[in-house]
Structure 1
Amino acid sequence: MLLRTGWNDLRRHPLQTLLAVIGVAVAVAVVVAVDLANHSALQAMRVSLESVSGTATHQIVGGPDGIDERAYTRLRTELGVSRAAPVVEGGATVPAAGERPLTLLGVDPFAEGPFRRPLVTGGEGVDQALDALLLRDDAIALGSGEARRLGVDAGERLRLAIAGEEREVIVAAVIPDPQDQWRGLALADIAAAQALLGETGRLGRIDLILDRGEAEALAERLPDGLRVVPAGASANAVLEMSRAFRINLTALSLLAVVVGAFLVFNTLAFLAVRRRAAIGTLRALGVQRREILAGVLADALLIGAVGTVLGLALGIALAHGLVGLVLQTITDLYFRRAAGELVLAPWSLAAGVLVGLGGSVLAALAPAQEAAATPPRAALARSELEDRARRLAGRGAAAGAGLLLAGGLLIAATGGLVPAFAGLFALILGAALLAPGFMLVLGRAVGRLTRGRPLAALAVEGAVASLSRTGVAVAALSVAVAAVIGVAVMIASFRASVVDWLEGSLAADFYVSAPAPLDDALAERLAGVAGVDWVARSRWYRVPTASGPVQLWALELPPDRDPAVDIRAGEPRAALQAFEDDRAVLVSEPFAARRGLAPGDALTLPTPSGDAALTVAGVYRDYGSPGGVVLLRRALYRTLYGDARLSGLGVHVAADAARPAVREALEAALAGVPGARLQDNAAVLERSLEVFDRTFAITEVLRWLAGFVAFVGVVSALMALHLDRARELAVLRAVGLGRRGVGGLIGAQSGLLGLAAGLWAVPLGLALAALLVFVINRRAFGWTMGFHLEVAPVVEGVVLAVVAALLAAVIPAWRAARSLPAAALKDE
C-alpha cells in the first residue's frame, strides 16, 4: 500500500518527477563523460607510446645529431647485445588530407622479434607488409583505419611533406587494425625511413631489453656521446605532465557533481516535503516510522535508478564529444600524436551508478528521516516546517562559516594539490550553507522597499516565507553560477596573462623557421638585409635523461640585448647578469616546480662528454611548455653539445624601416632554403591564442553543463513552491487578482530567488577564481598568472541566475493562471 501510494504521488506530478529524473541523469552523465574522456585520453597516450616502444626496457640515445649507425653494428658484434633494435622516427604531413600529421617509424624487421611492438610483430598481414617494405626504398605500410582516413589503399601512391619537401611514397600494404593502434603512424623499413627523413647513416635511438645490471655494465662501455636511459622515462614524463591537466578536468567535473548533488537533494527533499501532509495522515492511522522511511527511500531509489540509466547513456554520448576535445588539448600541449577513440571503462560506469543511486538515496535520507520522525499533528502544519527551516538556516550559517574557515586554513597550511581541492570544496559547501541565511537577509532588505505595495510585498514574503522550498534552490543555483563566474574569470585571467607573455616573448618582428636545421650563414645573410636591425638565434633540443626528456633553449643575442623573459624568482638584474657571464641557466616555472629548483640551486645535464653541473640563476614565466624549459646561452650550449645548428631566427626590424619592404627582402633572402617559413609575430600570436581557446573548450562545456543542472533544480524548486502555495494563490484569485497578476507575482518571486542566487554567487565565484589562479593552477602546472577581473563574466553570471529563475517560472505561472480557484480551495 505504501509503495502504491508513493507511485501514485509520482504519477500525479509527472513534470516534477521528470525534472528529478533529469537532474539525476545530468549529474551521472557529467561524471561518466569526464571520467571516460580522461580514461580514453590516458589509454590513447599509452597505446601511442607503446606502439613505438614495445617491450623495450632501455634505450641508447645520442646528442643533437642522433646516433651513428656504426654504433649499432658494434653493439651487436663487439659488445654482444643481441636484444637490440635500431629506430628512426620523424614527422611528416599529408597535404592532400588537410596537412594531417603522420609519424614515420623506421624499424629493422630482422631485429624486431623480441620487442613485440603492436605495429611490427604479430597480427594479420604484418609479415607480408614487412616483406613488401624490404623491397622498396619508398614504401610505407598503414593501418586500415589510418588508410581509410587518408583515402588510400594498398598499391596507391601518397605524397608526404617531410622537412619542407614533398616526397612521393607507395602504400605497399594496408594492415587490418581493428583497435586503431596505427592511428597517425606510418611504418617503413629503416633504410627507407632514413632516406625519406634525410637521416642517412643516422639512427634516432636503439631500443634494448636488458636487466638493471646489464644496463649499468653497458653504459660504461659505450663510446662518448651515447647514454643508456630507461625506455619508460619519456612515457612517464608525458603522462606526468598531462596529470595536472587531467586533475583539473576531474576537478571541474566534481564541481558539476557538487551542483548535481544539490539538485538531487533539492528535488528529493521536496519529495518528502510535498508528502508531509500525507505522511502525517498515515502516521495518524498507525503507519510506523520505519515504513514511512522505507517508502520515501524506495521512491528516491526508483527515481535514481531511472535517472542513472538515462545518465549512463547520455554520459557515453557526451563522452564521444569530450574525448575529442581532451585528445586535441593533450596533443596541443603534451604529445604530438594521440591515437585512440572512446574506451568504455567499467570503473567510470560504476562511478556513475554510485553517484546516481547512492546520491539519490543519501539525498532523500535526511528529509525522509525528518518527515518520518515528525509527529502527525506537526506534519499537518505548514508553519512547523517553515519554523524548523529558519532554525536550520541559522545552524547552517554557523556550520558554513566553520567550513569557510576550515577550507581557508587547509589551503593555507598545506602545499599539495589534493588538499587544495579539498579546501576548495569546503569553501563551496560552506558558501552553500550560508545561502539560505543570505536569502533571509536580502528578503528583509527588499521587504522594507515594498511597504505600501501589497503585491510586491506578497512576492517578497512568499519567497522568504517558503524557505524550506527556496533555500536549497538558491544554494544550488548560486553554486552553479559561482562555477560559471569563477571559471570564466580564471580563463580570462589566464588568457590575459598569456597575451602579456606572448607580447613580451614575441619581441621580434618576424620569425624564420624550417623543418631542417638552419645555420649561422643564413642568420648573417638576413642580418644584412636593408631595414633589419638585428637577428636573434635560437636552438631547441630535447636532452634525454633518466627522469624524462629536458627541453633546452639555446639563445644568442647581441651583447647589448637581454632575453625577453619575465623573471619571477631571483633578482632580475642579478639573474640576467649571471646568465650572461657564468655557467648559469634560467629555468621556466613549470620546470622549477617539477624539479623543485630555486635560484642558486645546481642543475645537472647529461652531455656527450659527461654530466655538466650548471647553476640556476633565476626562474622565469613561460606558458609554452607544460614540462618546462631550460634557457642557456648558445655559446654555452655549443661548448656542452658541440652543435652549431639553429632551429629558428628572430628578425628585428629597425624603427624607421618600412615593414612591407623588409618582408619582401627577407622572403627573397630565404629563397633556396627548403621549407623556410617567414612568420609575422601577429600570426604567431593568433595561432597561439587559437590553441589556447581550443584547450579551454572543454572547460566551457563543463561550466555550462553545471549551469544547466542548476536551472533544472530551480525549475523543480519553483514547481514545488507553487504547488504548495496553490491555496494561497487561489485565495488571491478569489478576491480579485487576475491571471496576469498571478503570473507577475510568481515571476517576481522567481526573479528575487534568481537575484539572491546571483548576488551570492559573485563573492563565491571571485573566491573560486582566485583559488584557481593563485593556488590550483600554481600547484598543478607550476606557473603563475595575474588576476584580471573583468566585469563582463560577473554581470553575465548574475544575469544568468535571474534569467534561469524567470524561465523556470514560466510553467508554474502558466499552470497557476489556468487553475480554477474553487478546485484549489477544495480541502479533501
Structure 2
Amino acid sequence: MSRLIGRIGRADLARHPLQTGLAMLGVAIAVAVVVAVDLANHSAREAMRVSLESVTGSATHQIVGGPAGVDERLYTRLRTEMGLRRAAPVIQGGVVRADGSGRALTLLGVDAFAEGPFQRPLGATNNLGDAFNDLMLRDDAVVVGQGEAERLGVTAGDPLDLLIDGARHTVTVVAVVDDPEDQARGLVLADIAAAQTLLDQHGRLDRIDLMVDEARAAALAEILGAGVRIVPAAASAQSVLQMSRAFQINLTALSLLAVVVGAFLVFNTLSFLGVRRRAVIGILRAMGVQRREIIGQMIGDALLIGLIGTLAGLALGYALAHGLVGLVLQTVNDVYFARAAGDLVLSPWSLAAGLLVGLGGSVLAAAAPARDAAATPPRAALSRADLEQRARRLAGRVGWIGGSALLLGALVIAVSDGLVAAFVGLFAVILGAAFMAPAIILGVGALLRPLMRGRPVGGLIVEGAVASLSRTGVAVAALSVAVAAVIGVAVMIASFRASVVDWLEGSLAADFYVSSPADLSDSRADRLAALDEVAFVSRSQWYDLATADGPVTIWALGLPEGRQPSVDIRRPERAAALAAYRGQTAVLISEPFAERRDLAPGDILRLPVGESRRALTVAGVYRDYASPTGAVLMRRDLYRDLYDDAGLAGIGVHARDGADREALIGRLESALAGVPGARVTDNAAVFEQSLRIFDRTFAITEVLRWLAGLVAFVGVISALMALQLDRLREFAVLRAVGLGRAGLAGLISGQSALLGLIAGLWAVPLGVTLAGLLVFVINRRAYGWTMGFELQAGPVVEGVALAVVAALLATVYPAWRATRLRIAAALKGE
C-alpha cells in the first residue's frame, strides 16, 4: 500500500507541473542565496587570512618602532649579543605597477638567510637556483609567485616598472617560484637591502619578526631600549578580521532573511499540497490507509521537491557566488583591508548549510501540514468548509502568538548589547509580524464588506480573498516579510547615504587637497600658504600605530592659531569639547573607535610611545564614516612631541572668498613642481569619489535586498496561481450563471490585487520598523556609527508596487485558463 500511496503523491505532483516547478524554484532561490553569501564571506575571510599570513608567516611577535621604523642595528644586536636566532628583519611598502593599470602590490624585503623558520610563501629561497645570487647582489632584482606572474604577464628575466613614492623604478623579475595556493598574491619579494634602496629607507626597518614564547617576549621588552616595543604578531590580523566580522554578520543576516521568506514559501507550497489532496486523503483514510502512511507520503513529496530544489539551488548559489565574492572583496578592500584580493574558495560548510536549508526546511515545512492532513477525519477531509473554518479559528490564536513574538523581539533588543542578540530580536519582530498576517486579512475583509453592499463583483472580490485563508494567509505573510525587507533596507541605505552626505559637506572644509606618495614637507605647505588667493592651509599626517590590541590610526592635524577642526562632534557639546581639545594632552576620537574601546569624553586613552605608554584625555567623540576601525585625532604639535615625526601626508588648501579656483589650481600645481606624484584634488572630486565608494560598498546589500524580493515574487506567484487554478470549478459556476469572460478576469485579478495590496500595506509599518532597527540598533552595534533617519516615499511606493505587481502577474495564467473553460466539462463531478 505504501508504494501505491507514494505513486499517488508523485502523480499529483506530475499533474500540476507549473505549481510543482515554482515550488522547486522557490526552494532553489532560497538555497542559492544562503550558499552564495556564505561562500562569498568564506572567500573574503580566506583572502584576508592568506594576505595577512603572506607577510607575517609564522611569526609570534614583532618589534616595531615609531613612524620612522626600527634602527637596523637593533637586529644585529638581537642576533649577536642576545643570541636570538629566530628573528627576521622586514621592509614592507606599497607600490603600484607603472603600466597604466594601477595594480597595487606589496614590496616585501626580507633577509633570505633568516627566513627559514617563518614560512612566508616567498621567503624560502632553496628553489631559486642560479637566481639566488642575483637576488642577493642586485638592487633591482625581485621574485614573484607563479599566480602573480601570470596576472602581471611576466616571466623570469622580464623587466617590471613600478611607481614607488611617485617615482618610476624598473626592476627585473629574476625568478618565478611555485605558489600552488596563490598565497603570494599581490607580493613582490626583494632582498632587504634592495628594498631599503627602492623604498628609500636606508638603515631603517619596518619591523623585526620574532618566534619566541611569551616569557622571552616579556624579557625582551625590558631590554630593547628606547623608541621600540614588542607586540603580538597576530594583533593586526585579528583586528582586521574582527573589524570585518560585523560586515559579514550583516550579510549573513540578509541572506537568512531570504531563508525566512523561502521557509514561508516552502511551508505555503507544502500546505497547499495537503489542502489540494484533502479529498484524496479523505478517500484513502476511508479505505483504511493509516495516518503514518499519509504523513510518509507528504514528507516524501516534500523531500522530492526539496531535493530537486536544493540541487538546483547549490548550482545556482555557486554561480551567484562568483559575482558576490567580487562585491564582498571590493567592499573589504575599500573599507577594511587594502590587499584582500582573492578568488572564490569552496567551503563544505557552505554546501552543508544549503543542504540543511533546502532539505531540512522542506521536511520541517511539510511536518505540520502532513500531521494535520493525517489527523483530519475522512468526512471532514472531504469538506472544504471545515478547512476554512479551522483556518479562521487559528488566525486569532496565531495573531496572538505573533503579537507576543513582536514584544519578545523588542524586549531582546532593549535588554541586550550584542550584535547577534540584536539580529535575534529583529527576526523575532519579523516573524511576529508575519504570524499576524491572517488576522490582518480577516480585519481588512471586515472593513471592506460594508463598502461592497450593492456591488456584487466587489463583494465577490472581498469574499474570495478572505474565504481561502488557509491558502492565502502564508502567501501574504511571506510577501509582506519580503516587501518589508525591500522597504527597510532601502530606507536604511537612503538614511545612511544622507548622513554621509551631511558628514562630507561638513568635513570637506578645504577647497583643495594636496597629496603625494612621497612625504610632503612643512616648507612646501608654507609655499602654498603664501599664495595670494590662499587664506590658510591645514596639515595632516596619518599613522597606523601598532599596539597589542591591533593598529590604532592616528590623525595628526595642524591648523593656524584660532582655527578649529571641522569635525562633527557628537559628545559633549562642541564648545566644551574644543575647549578641552586645546589642552596639553587631549585628543578627539571617532565614534567607531569610542565604541570598540568603550571610551567616553573625560576617559583616559593610553597609547604606546616608544617603550612606555602615554595617558591622553578624551576631549570628545566625533562622527566619522571614513572607516569602521575609528581614528584618534590629535593636534599635530602633540603628535610631533610624542612620535618625533615631521612628515605630512596631505595639505588642505582653503581659498580666499572670491578666488579664481581654476587659476588657483594652476598656481598650486606650479608650487608643487618637483614633488614626485603630487596631486591637487578639488573637494568636489573628493566628495564624488567618497559617494562612489559608498555606493560600491552597498552594492551587495542592494543585490541581497532584491534577491529576497525575488524569492517572495516567485513564491507569491506560485501560491496565488495555485489558489486560482484550484478554483476553476467555482469559476465555471460563475460563468454558468452569466458572468462574462471580462468580468471573470477582473474578479480573479481583483482578488489577487487585493491580497497583494494587503501584503504591501502591512509591509510598510514592518519595513519602517525594520529600517529603524537597522539604523539605530544594528549599525550602531556593528560599527559604532550614528546616523539620521531618512524616510522617503520612493522605497515605500516601490515596495507596495512590488507586492501588487507580483499578485497581478500570478493571475495572468489562471485568468487565461478560466476565460477559456468549457463550462460543462468543468462542472462535472459537482
User: TM-score scaled by structure 2?
Assistant: 0.98
The counterpart of 2:41, out of the listed 27, 38, 41, is 38
- 2:294 matched residue in structure 1: 292
Q: Give secondary structure in 2 for the equivalent of 1:612.
A: strand
- 1:9 matched residue in structure 2: 12
Matched, 1:68 2:71: yes
Separation (CA, whole Å) in 1 of partners of 2:84 and 2:500: 49
CA deviation map 1:523-557 (0-9, x unaligned):
11000111111111111111111111110011111
The counterpart of 1:425, out of the listed 424, 427, 435, is 427
Q: Give secondary structure in 2 for the equivalent of 1:551.
A: strand
- 2:593 matched residue in structure 1: 591
Separation (CA, whole Å) in 1 of partners of 2:825 and 2:440: 36
- 2:30 matched residue in structure 1: 27
Q: Give secondary structure in 1 for the equivalent of 2:99.
A: helix
Separation (CA, whole Å) in 1 of partners of 2:129 and 2:351: 39
The answer to whether the 8 A contact 2:533-2:659 is kept is yes
Single out whichever of 753-762 and 655-664 deviates more from structure 2.
655-664
> When the two structures are aligned, how many residues end up with a matched partner?
827
- 1:180 matched residue in structure 2: 182
Q: CA deviation at 1:472?
A: 0.6
Separation (CA, whole Å) in 2 of partners of 1:197 and 1:669: 25
Separation (CA, whole Å) in 2 of partners of 1:22 and 1:30: 12
Q: CA deviation at 1:148?
A: 1.8
Distance 1:418 1:128, change over 3 A: farther
The answer to whether the 8 A contact 2:122-2:177 is kept is no
**What one-letter code is carried by the residue in structure 2 that aligns with 1:677?**
R
The counterpart of 1:614, out of the listed 606, 613, 616, is 616
- 2:717 matched residue in structure 1: 715
- 2:138 matched residue in structure 1: 136
- 1:326 matched residue in structure 2: 328
The answer to whether the 8 A contact 1:93-1:99 is kept is yes
Separation (CA, whole Å) in 2 of partners of 1:568 and 1:251: 29
Matched, 1:195 2:165: no
**What one-letter code is carried by the residue in structure 1 that aligns with 2:772?**
A
CA deviation map 1:380-410 (0-9, x unaligned):
1111111111111111111111111111111
Separation (CA, whole Å) in 2 of partners of 1:178 and 1:97: 28
Q: CA deviation at 1:131?
A: 4.3
Provide the alpha-carbon RMSD of the alignment. 1.4
Q: Give secondary structure in 1 for the equivalent of 2:754.
A: helix
Aligned residue runs from structure 1 range 206-221, under 5 A: 206-221=208-223
**What one-letter code is carried by the residue in structure 2 that aligns with 1:265?**
F
Separation (CA, whole Å) in 1 of partners of 2:122 and 2:352: 33
CA deviation map 1:597-641 (0-9, x unaligned):
111111111112621111111111111121110111111111111
Separation (CA, whole Å) in 2 of partners of 1:143 and 1:317: 28
Separation (CA, whole Å) in 1 of partners of 2:352 and 2:50: 24
**What one-letter code is carried by the residue in structure 2 that aligns with 1:211?**
D
**What one-letter code is carried by the residue in structure 2 that aligns with 1:52?**
V
Separation (CA, whole Å) in 2 of partners of 1:25 and 1:127: 52
- 1:795 matched residue in structure 2: 797
Aligned residue runs from structure 1 range 529-678, under 5 A: 529-608=531-610, 610-678=612-680
The answer to whether the 8 A contact 2:109-2:195 is kept is yes
The counterpart of 1:104, out of the listed 101, 104, 107, is 107
- 1:368 matched residue in structure 2: 370
**What one-letter code is carried by the residue in structure 1 that aligns with 2:187?**
L
The counterpart of 1:689, out of the listed 688, 691, 696, is 691
Identity %: 69
CA deviation map 1:95-149 (0-9, x unaligned):
32521111111111111011111222289x4566544422421122222222222
**What one-letter code is carried by the residue in structure 2 that aligns with 1:35?**
D
Structure 2 gaps of 5+ residues are none
CA deviation map 1:689-732 (0-9, x unaligned):
11111111111111111111101111111122112211110111
Q: CA deviation at 1:415?
A: 1.2
Q: Give secondary structure in 2 for the equivalent of 1:225.
A: coil
Q: Give secondary structure in 1 for the equivalent of 2:154.
A: coil
CA deviation map 1:740-787 (0-9, x unaligned):
332222111111111111100000000000000000010011111111
- 2:520 matched residue in structure 1: 518
Separation (CA, whole Å) in 2 of partners of 1:191 and 1:627: 33
Q: Give secondary structure in 1 for the equivalent of 2:582.
A: helix
Matched, 1:471 2:457: no
Single out whichever of 167-176 and 377-386 deviates more from structure 2.
167-176
Separation (CA, whole Å) in 1 of partners of 2:820 and 2:96: 65
The answer to whether the 8 A contact 1:181-1:339 is kept is no
Separation (CA, whole Å) in 2 of partners of 1:556 and 1:6: 77
Q: Give secondary structure in 2 for the equivalent of 1:529.
A: coil
Q: CA deviation at 1:812?
A: 1.9
Q: Give secondary structure in 2 for the equivalent of 1:111.
A: coil
- 1:381 matched residue in structure 2: 383
Separation (CA, whole Å) in 2 of partners of 1:387 and 1:394: 12
- 2:282 matched residue in structure 1: 280
Single out whichever of 47-56 and 444-453 deviates more from structure 2.
444-453
- 1:310 matched residue in structure 2: 312
Q: CA deviation at 1:13?
A: 0.4
CA deviation map 1:236-279 (0-9, x unaligned):
11011111111111111111111111111111111111111111
- 1:773 matched residue in structure 2: 775
Q: CA deviation at 1:452?
A: 2.6
Aligned residue runs from structure 1 range 220-259, under 5 A: 220-259=222-261
Separation (CA, whole Å) in 2 of partners of 1:471 and 1:765: 19
Q: Give secondary structure in 1 for the equivalent of 2:765.
A: helix
The answer to whether the 8 A contact 1:52-1:119 is kept is no
Distance 1:601 1:391, change over 3 A: same
Separation (CA, whole Å) in 2 of partners of 1:750 and 1:177: 59
Q: Give secondary structure in 1 for the equivalent of 2:627.
A: coil
Matched, 1:400 2:402: yes
Q: Give secondary structure in 2 for the equivalent of 1:819.
A: coil
Structure 1 gaps of 5+ residues are none
Single out whichever of 249-258 and 125-134 deviates more from structure 2.
125-134
- 1:704 matched residue in structure 2: 706
Distance 1:682 1:285, change over 3 A: same
Single out whichever of 567-576 and 394-403 deviates more from structure 2.
567-576
Q: Give secondary structure in 2 for the equivalent of 1:708.
A: helix
Matched, 1:754 2:756: yes
The answer to whether the 8 A contact 1:729-1:816 is kept is yes
**What one-letter code is carried by the residue in structure 2 that aligns with 1:332?**
D
Separation (CA, whole Å) in 2 of partners of 1:7 and 1:26: 23
User: TM-score scaled by structure 1?
Assistant: 0.98
Separation (CA, whole Å) in 2 of partners of 1:467 and 1:343: 45
The answer to whether the 8 A contact 2:125-2:132 is kept is no
Separation (CA, whole Å) in 1 of partners of 2:749 and 2:176: 64
Q: CA deviation at 1:331?
A: 0.8
The answer to whether the 8 A contact 1:237-1:548 is kept is yes
The answer to whether the 8 A contact 2:541-2:649 is kept is yes
Separation (CA, whole Å) in 2 of partners of 1:608 and 1:587: 21
**What one-letter code is carried by the residue in structure 2 that aligns with 1:62?**
G
The counterpart of 1:727, out of the listed 714, 722, 729, is 729
Q: CA deviation at 1:178?
A: 2.8
